Structure 1
Amino acid sequence: MIKRFIQCEDLDKKKESEKKPTPKKGKKEKRDPNKPKQGMTAFFLFMNKKRERCMAANPDFSVTEVAKVLSRQWKEMSEEMKAPYMLQQEKDKIRFAKEMESYKQQEKEKIRLTKMMDAAPQAEL
C-alpha cells in the first residue's frame, strides 16, 4: 500500500516536471503600412455590396444578425449568381499579386541600400 502511494507521488512529480512553462505573449509586430492588402474573397465582396441595403431594410437588426442573413443568402445563391463576385475576386487576386511583387522589389532595394550605407563608413576608416 505504501509503495503504491510512493508510485503516485513519483507520477505527480513527473507530470509537474513535464509541464512546460507557457510562453509569454510578445507584442504583435506592426504591419508595414506600405504592404498591399490581401485580396478579398467573393463572399466578402458580396457582403460589402449588400450590407448597407440589408441594414437599411432591417434597422433593428444587429451587425451579427445582418451577417447571418447575408450569409444565408450567399449559401442559397446559385453559381451563376455568384459568378460576378468570383470574377471580381480573381481580379483582386491578380491585383494583389502584382502589388506584392512590386512591394517585394522595393523591400529588396531598401535592404540593398541599407547594406551599402552600412558598408560605406567602414571603407572610409
Structure 2
Amino acid sequence: MPRSKNDSKPRGRMTAYAFFVQTCREEHKKKHPDESVVFSEFSRKCAERWKTMSDKEKKRFQEMADRDKKRYEQEMQHYVPEKGEKGRGKKRRHTKDPNAPKRSLSAFFWFCNDERPKVKGMNPEYGVGEIAKELGRLWAEADPEVKRKYEAMAERDKARYEREMTAYKKRGKPDAAAPPPDDDDDEGDDDGDDDDEDE
C-alpha cells in the first residue's frame, strides 16, 4: 500500500526465512544476471532447501531477523502516527448490514480460493503476504483457458449478487425475512460462500 509522502512509519520486520529467501535471490542474480526467475519454481526450491538446512546453517538468518526485530522495535518507540492515521483501515463510515447479500467475487478471488491450499501446502512457512504475492504471480502466468473458467464463475456470482441485491432493496427493511434461494443460488453458495468467510 502506498504511504503518504510524510509517513515515516518504520518498515516491518523480516523473518529468518525472509532473509534466507532474499539472500538466495541475491545469489541467483549474481550467478545468472540475465535469467528471468519463475517465482513459483524458485520459491519451491528455497522452501525445500530451508527444510533440509541444519539449525547451525539457519542461525545466521535468525541473527539477522533478531537484529531486524530490535531495529523495528527501536524505530517504533520513536514513531508518532500522522494526525488522523491512528485508526486508519479500521474505521468505517457505516456498519454493514449482516442481512445484505454477500458481494460477488472476482475471477482472481475464485482462482485464489482453489489455489491457496496448494500454495500453502508447497510453502508452509509462507505468511499471508507471501501467499498473496505467489497467487498474484500464478494468476498472471495462468493460461487464458484457466482464466476463462474463473471469469465464468465470477460472471455467475455477479449475476447472483445482482439478483439478491435487487430482492434485498425491494424488501427495504434489513430485518425482513429473506426469500428462500432457488436451486441456482445454492450452487453459487456452495462454490464460494464458505471459502469467502475464511478471508
TM range (shorter): 0.5 to 0.7
Distance 1:55 1:69 in 2: 10
CA-CA distance at 1:78 after TM superposition: 2.3
Higher relative contact order (CA 8 A, sep 6+): 1
CA-CA distance at 1:70 after TM superposition: 1.1
Q: Secondary structure at the match of 1:71?
A: helix
Of 61, 68, 75, 2:126 maps to: 61
Where does 1:1-125 land on structure 2 (aligned, <5 Å)?
A: 28-107=93-172, 110=173
Greater Rg over alpha carbons, structure:
1
The size of the alignment, in residue pairs, is 86
TM-score, length basis structure 1: 0.62
CA-CA distance at 1:77 after TM superposition: 1.2
Consecutive unaligned residues in structure 1, runs of 5 or more: 1-21, 111-125
CA-CA distance at 1:28 after TM superposition: 3.1
Q: Secondary structure at the match of 1:37?
A: coil
Distance 1:97 1:90 in 2: 11
Q: Secondary structure at the match of 2:99?
A: coil
Identity within the alignment, %: 39
Comparing both structures, which one devotes a greater share of its residues to helix?
1
Consecutive unaligned residues in structure 2, runs of 5 or more: 1-83, 174-199
